[in-house]
Amino acid sequence: MPTFLRRLALWLGALALAVMAALTGPTAAQAAAPAWPTLGNGSTGANVTTAQYLLRHRGYSLTVDGQYGPGTTSVAKSFQSANGLGADGVIGPQTWGKLVVTLNAGANNDAVRALQTSLNKYGYGLSVDGAWGPATTSAVQSFQSRNGLAVDGIVGPATWQYLVGGSGGGTGNYRLIIGKSVLPRSEYDDPHHDYPAIDLPTVTGTTAYAITSGTVGHVGGNCGLGIGITADDGAYYLYCHLNSRSVGAGARVSAGQVLGYTGATGNVTGPHLHLEVRVNGANRCPQNMLLALYDGVTPPAPSALPATGCTY
């Protein structure tokens, strides 16, 4: 065979292998891992409780109350200093990496309480007793399967990242915009005061998540520190009144990725997260979509959401 034909055959073979790998490799079956959340003074919710239990497991004394106050900040600084990290009292990716521990069935400690707390974000309803029994094993394996992780029943860094990085509600390429444990279901059907939208009451510092995948733009004005997602589903999702943003303008985000932390910036009377869903520039009522995500069922398409009936 002439040299150029052999080279062509080799090139075509390599191209075929590359295409096959792209279609069948891990990235086709598993979405990108959610970002580790950033927790600091004023943060609340299940992720804070999880971090507090993990700090207790590491030998520190603190109250586990889901409130990130001065006591938790002080303990976080001590942990960071002891582990060669910048002692800023903020639990971000590097601190999480040192804080989480690998757990197996049969363990009985505060780290298991942290695990059970995180699993309950996703509706598993475990007793937070620190004892890893059959119910915790079943929940871990179910969670790993749902997220495309190795179903080995071992909770290592990858499983921890999905546990604390996810919002706790959603299905497919959609996630609840704040942790499922933050608010009861009844908050998600409340009407907005004057146009199709929803206001979710939170304390400052509550983690806000991307509802679906798309490209981020920064928004200001009456919205305060706002983020708009030009989404892959054709809709536009607007988040307002954040205390801080975690993603830059122009960044691509995936469903469940941390966008920032709630607050009271812009035109507000108190801290809350404001969400709008726009289709072809017109506002739609987000309530049915958020209720579906809370329940873990497929949400209606944005274009199917009503344009009226969600105000008072």
Burial of 19 (0-12, 13-18, 19+ CB in 10 A): exposed
Is there a contact between 171 and 111 (Cβ–Cβ < 8 Å)?
Answer: no
**265, part of any domain:** yes
**251, part of any domain:** yes
**52, part of any domain:** yes
pLDDT at 17: 37
- What CATH number did the domain enclosing 78 receive? 1.10.101.10
283 and 198 in a common domain: yes
Last residue of a domain, one of 133, 165, 197: 165
Last residue of a domain, one of 165, 186, 216: 165
pLDDT at 2: 55
pLDDT at 256: 86
Quote the number of domains for the chain: 2
190 and 121 in a common domain: no
191 and 109 in a common domain: no
What is the rounded distance in angstroms from the CA atom of residue 171 to the CA atom of residue 155? 22
Q: Token pair of 250, please?
A: 């122009």
3-state secondary structure 300-311: CCHHHCCCCCCE
What is the rounded distance in angstroms from the CA atom of residue 51 to the CA atom of residue 64? 9
Mind listing the pLDDT tens digit for each residue in 174-210? 999 998 888 999 999 999 999 999 999 999 989 899 9
SS3 109: coil
| Residue whose entry in the numeric block shows the structure tokens 């298991």 | 112
pLDDT at 24: 36
265 and 158 in a common domain: no
What is the rounded distance in angstroms from the CA atom of residue 230 to the CA atom of residue 118? 30
Range of the domain at 65: 46-165
160 and 106 in a common domain: yes
- What CATH number did the domain enclosing 276 receive? 2.70.70.10
223 and 297 in a common domain: yes
Residues in the chain where the model's pLDDT stays below 50: 1, 6, 10, 13-30
**255, part of any domain:** yes
Is there a contact between 97 and 157 (Cβ–Cβ < 8 Å)?
Answer: yes
206 and 276 in a common domain: yes
pTM, whole model, 2 decimals?
0.71
**198, part of any domain:** yes
pLDDT at 97: 97
241 and 130 in a common domain: no
184 and 282 in a common domain: yes
288 and 216 in a common domain: yes
147 and 198 in a common domain: no
**102, part of any domain:** yes
Of the CA atoms within 13 Å of residue 189, those in its CB half-sphere come to 8
Is there a contact between 176 and 162 (Cβ–Cβ < 8 Å)?
Answer: no
74 and 132 in a common domain: yes
**215, part of any domain:** yes
Mind listing the pLDDT tens digit for each residue in 96-145? 999 999 999 999 999 999 999 999 888 788 999 999 999 999 999 999 99
**213, part of any domain:** yes
